[in-house]
Structure formats: C-alpha cells, structure tokens
Structure 1
C-alpha cells in the first residue's frame, strides 16, 4: 500500500504525509435536504434528495461488531434516530426556527463579513441538525448514545445532514445522551481490535450551549478516561452510572440525584484509516415508572427550543471569547481542558488573498496533536474531502519533529495546507491529547505569523513538503476513504 507522492522544496519527503491507498469507493449516494455539500456515502433512503457528485457509496457490508450485527456506529438505534430527525427537520416548527437562526446569523457582526455571508446557511443548517439530534437524546427513560455533531453521511441505513458546530473535532466520534439522577444506568462496552487513540466519558451539568455564558460552556461534573477503565479479559467492560458513590465499584460515574446530567462520549481517532470507535450500549436498569414517549410534535418543539438557545449562545460565545478575546491571526495561550482531556487553544484568522498564516507546533509528547479551521460561526470547513484539519498521521512532519501548517484562501502547493474552501477567514483550533510527561505542553506553540504568499517559500523550513494538483486530489481521495472507515468498524 502506497502513500500519495509529494515533493519537497529541496528534496522529496514521501514518508511524511498521506495515508495508505485503498480501493476507491464508487461514486453515487444521495444528499440530504439541509446541506449543500455531500460528505457521506452509502445506501440512502428514498426520501432523500438527488445525488451529489461528492457523495459515494459502497456495496460492501460493514463488519459485524455491534450487538445488532452491524458496527459501533451503524446500529438500528442510530438509523431510527436519524429517520425521526429527518422528519423533525421537515416540520413547520423547525423550518421557522431555522429561518430565525439564519436571520440571526446574517445580522451578526461576523455575518456581515464576506466569509460570514457565504457561511450563514451552512452554519445555520448544521446547528439545526445538531439541535434535533440533541432533542432526541433527552429521553432519560430510554437512553441511547446518539452519534451526532458529525459530517453528512449516507451509509447502510444511516442518512443525515451535517450536524457539526461549536468547532467540532473531525478526529472525534461524538456520542451523547441525557441521564436522570433518579435512575440508574449501565453502559456495556467492547474494545475493538484497533482501539481509538483516546476514549473519554464526560458528564456535564447541562447540554452545552443551554447554560450561562462561560468559557467552558457549562461545567464538567464527572469524567472517566478510557485508560482508567477496568476491562475484562475478553475486551468487554461495564460502566455504572447513578447518584450514589462508587463504594468500591470500578468504572463508576456518579450523577446528581435531583437533576439531569448530559453524558458526552468521545472516541478520538488519530488514524482515520485504522482506528475504530468502541462498541457501547446503554441501558436504564432502575428508576421510577417510565413516562410515555413524546409525540413528533413534542420532539419538534424540543428541537426548536434547543436551537433557539444554542444558536445565539454560540454566536455570543465566539464573539466574546474569540473575536474580542484575541487579535486576529493569533491564538490564545494553551489552556488545560477539564476532565483530563488534554490542552487546547483557539484563535481566528482574516487573511488577504495574497497572505498566508503559518503555524508551527510541537507535539510535546502528545499521542494526538490536531489542528483545524472552521468558518466564522464555528462550523468546521469541509474535512472529509478537503484538508481543513490535520492530525499527526495526516500531516507532513519537519525533521526536528515539529509540524508546520499553512492557512491560505487558495492552494499554495504545501502538503499541510489548511483549506478554507475558498474563504479568507474563520477560526483555528489546536488540541494536544493523551499527553505524557509534559501534561501542560509547555512551548508547544512554536510560531504563528502572517506572510505574503510571495514570501512563503522563504519563510517555511527548507524541507517543507509540497504538493502538485494531482497529488492534492490523491490526498483528498484518501481522506474521504479514511473518514468513511469509522462507519465500517
């Protein structure tokens, strides 16, 4: 298996960038109604819109890892949630709330910028889709770890538009559910043969974006890192969740007794081509009598209410903590993330057509170093088919172990080009996870600078890997195949 060839400013460094080439997926697939770009692949349902050139499909059956004979993500439960979610998105109530969200975004300061104007519909559609999936995770009597905040996809019965927002990490598989303190729950899990770089369970006091405005968008009230999970010899494990202390129980999360708590599970896939999400199944094992299921109208009302909260929240959040928190084309100092989740920082860029932002980072011993760019509203720029993010298995490395990335409106021919889909501004996010001896990642941000494109070659390290147009196309094709892997394993 080969990697995409690439050139260097001085000598070739073919081993730095790209991922193994596998059989290309057959172009087909169908596009969901709310998103302009098709990011997913596979078998779509009959109620979807016509095919997009970016969609793809495969006739290969997914590996049977899930309890229902499917995979960790592709489950009957997820298919039911997404089918119901599409119905909710089509209701008058959600369409009206979506129109209000688009108007809110368009009237905002970033919405008045050229990139903001170009991004308004994409950002509003995506956060609306996320609000629906969040609303469908509110049933504490029938918990289900819903896969959400992800790229548009069409595969083996799964079919949903882009639901990314809040600077979602393309390396993560996010799964969420709401829990009630008057009930007890058990999560049964099984590690795959190719484990994710990190598995992390986080309990929050509320759904992010529905609390008072704080830097952490709410509070972490409990956490269980994957490397602390006690696992059985066969690779399975059980996690208990209730309002009582652990009292000697391993793998226990305690929740407040008198309220609800929001559980976020993150599988961090540093190698999209090989790592698989963990199989998880949650059950309610005790509690008061089960309430009737909500009607479609009630779920639509929940979805609209959530969208009406989280859209203005995140708009104000980024305006307060990013655009008014630091100068353009810079990033904040590193900050520890709660729950032992590593360190991270954020910044924003606004570049002229003849400018580039150059960022050099040190992995600082982290098993995962990730960088990504988003549109001005915090929705990730297209990352399945384009290079709006890099981790250490995707990026070309400098000889000294650092990584240098270039943000520019158009392709500068650099392997580590962060691609803003033809736009000139947005946000940039940096994450170091699974840190070892240097948990603070001191000195990990080596340099950030803005240069003229004409000066880019002299600014970059002499061994910087470059790419031709054909090599870029190959890099993009590999990314798409590798992102799709998470659905099949």
Structure 2
C-alpha cells in the first residue's frame, strides 16, 4: 500500500537537514555567524546536487550526472570534471565515445559514494583504471565493457564489475585547461531491461528522504577528514595518505593551513622524476574547493613555474605576493591544502614555511621572478576563459 503523502515536503527533509546542522559543532568556529552562513550554503548545495544523484538516472537506465564540479563544491580537484552514474553489479555496461585530448581519463566502479551512504567504511572500490590501461583508436575512439565476466569472443577493453558495485565514477583530468578537449562519452546497459517507468509515490518519497541525508552524511565525513589531519599533525604540516579503491595510484598530501594578514605560507617540495600528473589546491574550512575559476587557488604540473633548483615553490597569501605560483585563499585564513602525486616514481612530502609577507623574498631563491599586477591580471583572465570553456556539468 502506498504511503500516505504528508501535506508539506519539509516533513521529508527535516530530519536530514537537522543532522546536517548539527555538524556545525564540528567546524573550527561553531559560534561564528559567518561560518554558520557558509554551512547553510553548503547544505543547500548538497540538497540541490541530490536531485541529480537520486532522480536523474537508475542502474537499468544509466546516464551521467555532474559530481563535485564547481557548483557542487565538496573538494573537487579543479583539474577534474567528474561524472557519476548509478550501476548494478549483475548487469553489463558499455561506455563508448571520444576520449578527447585531456591529460587523463579515469574510471572507477565501487560500492557507495560519500553523501549517499551512512557508514563510509562500507564504501568499497573495485576498479581503478585510466586510459593508459586501455586501447584507444587513432582518432580517440574508446569503448569499454564493464561486466562480471568478459563477453565471449570480446577482445576489446573490458573491466571486471564486482557484484556489489553500484556506482561508476569518471574523471576527465585536464592539465592545460585552455588547450585540451573533454571526452564525449555515453553509458548504456546492454542487458534486456524494461522501459524506464514512472516512479511510484513511495519511490519518490524515499528518494527525497535520501536527498535530505546527503548534507549531513558528506559533512560528517569531510569534517572528520580535515579535523583528523589537524589533530594528528597540527597546522601547516602535510600528512601524506594513499586511499584504496578509487585512484589507488594517487598519493594525496593534505594539510590544514592557517595564516594571518601580513603573512605568507611557502610550500616547497622536490618533484618526482616520473610524474604523469600532480597538482595542489586550496579548500575552505568546510572542505569546499576555494573558488577556482575567478581565483588562482590551484596549480598543476602544466601551470606551475618551477624554481631554478628544480623545486616547486608556491605561496599562499591573502594578497598578491608578486611571485609565481600564488595560491589565493580568497580571504580564508584557515582551510586545507590538498596535493596529489599520481602514479609517480616517488612521493616527496612538501614542507610549509610561515613567514612575514614583507620578508617573503628572503625565503625564496634570488632569481625568483617578479609577477607584475598586469601579468597577474592576464594570468587570471586566461584562467577564467579556459575554465569557462570546459564542459563542467
């Protein structure tokens, strides 16, 4: 029997939103009204994303939804365009189309995803491949079959699908935002399935309840991650980590940053000899990527200027320090830094130096160039154009 429909949709949202609001207590400044307002914004962001996650597609009728892109900001990598599709481990799927010219395309199938599962320890990753593992046609043609068993006689790209898998995640990873073209891929279920049906009232209500849970689930996870770094190593110290499952080839180097007006943080690191991909980005105190279209809050191996001694030096400062590799925290004096070494031959741990901004150049190589206001303006305008011309959702 169908559930009796309540007269107010808020009845289905209240418990989940209340749980999300309770997470404000786990923020770094729970009594700060600006922090609370930012948390309200974050909750609205997750609720709006929830419609895509729960109503756009299903495992028998898969389609791509945007995931963690500039609007849905829970710590997306600025170099990545993310897509999500619901799948089922007992079905067979084909992903096909044009690989594009981005630096890398990665595919992950897994059980559960942050924001859509109560216990994040239940998330399991089963596939972790990038297009370097795949056959790609001379004009970028790409086809992959995902199934529990390789189809008889099939010699093309195949990836084993675990019975428990219910998520496929794809990343279009770009280095040169202006010069690379995104992939153009479709996903389809190859099994005989019924036509996509109208949802029942019970199905709609349950999905609304699940949407309401997303802000609390995600915030609980990400606050625990950033607070854990702070508790274990303190501020302005990196703590490298490698996760199993999705992107197991990748070593992250997170840190909690903190600075004041008139200060600068210098991030300094050796670079691996073999480095297919690396980047660094800033997040705000709620684990959202700092604005990265209209702010220079990230850099990568194609954008960054390397010092004459072969090291990377990037500078976090609240105002333009006039040197290469400025990481602009957009007014935030606290947040997290996330760097990535992807499939590198070594994984050096960077260091952070906290110095007076007026003395910055004393701590940099003597030949560090000056970036003029005109050059910075041109750099930012080029970034804005490149970011907007990428297909982000």
TM-score (norm 1): 0.70
Q: Match for residue 396 of structure 1?
A: 305
Q: Which runs of 5+ in 1 are unaligned?
A: 1-90, 152-161
Counting matched residue pairs gives 377
**Distance in 2, Cα, partners of 1:428 & 1:246:** 44
Per-residue deviation, residues 308-353 of structure 1 (Å, max 9, x unmatched): 422323233332x323232111111353664453322111012122
Is the counterpart of residue 330 in structure 1 residue 237 in structure 2? yes
CA shift, 1:454, in A, is 2.8
For residues 458 and 353 of structure 1, do their structure 2 counterparts lie closer, same or farther at Cα, with a shift above 3 Å needed?
A: same
Task: Measure, in 2, the Cα distance between the counterparts of 1:104 and 1:223.
Answer: 35
Among residues 21, 24, 32, which one is paired with 1:103 in the alignment? Answer: 21
Aligned runs of 1:142-153 on 2, under 5 Å? 142-151=61-70
Aligned to 2:295: 386
Equivalent in the alignment of 1:198: 104
Could you tell me which residue of structure 2 aligns to residue 164 of structure 1?
73
Among 275, 281, 290, the alignment partner of 2:186 is 281
1:372 paired with 2:290, answer no
Hey, what does 1:45 align to over in structure 2? none
- In the alignment, is the contact (CA less than 8 A) between 1:93 and 1:301 conserved in 2? no
1:144–1:282 contact (8 Å) kept in structure 2:
yes
Deviation string, structure 1 residues 133-191 (Cα, Å, up to 9, x no partner): 3224551121012222111xxxxxxxxxx1110x2100001011111123221111212
Tell me how far apart the structure 2 counterparts of residues 146 and 212 of structure 1 sit (CA, whole Å): 23
SS in 2 for 1:126: helix
Cross-structure match for 1:341: 249
Q: Which residue of 2 aligns with 1:132?
A: 51
2:367 corresponds to 1:458: no
**Aligned pairs for 1:72-83 within 5 A:** none
Structure 2 unaligned spans of 5+ = 1-8
Give yes or no for contact 1:105–1:111 (8 Å, CA) kept in 2: no
**Native 8 Å contact 1:174 1:267 kept in 2:** yes
Q: Distance in 2 between matches of 1:387 and 1:98?
A: 35
SS at match of 1:487: coil
Is 1:255 paired with 2:161? yes
The Cα shift of 1:255 comes to: 2.2
Whether 2:353 is the aligned partner of 1:445: answer no
- 1:228 aligned residue: 133
1:303 deviation in Å? 1.8
Please give the per-residue CA displacement for 1:18-57, whole angstroms capped at 9, x wherever unaligned. Answer: xxxxxxxxxxxxxxxxxxxxxxxxxxxxxxxxxxxxxxxx
Alpha carbons of 1:201 and 1:470: their partners in 2 closer, same or farther (altered >3 Å)?
Answer: same
Alignment match, 1:420: 329
Measured after TM superposition, the shift of residue 432 of structure 1 is 1.7
Give 1:234-313 correspondences, 5 Å limit: 234-245=139-150, 249-257=155-163, 259-289=164-194, 292-294=197-199, 299-313=207-221
Maintained 8 Å contact 2:223/2:286: yes
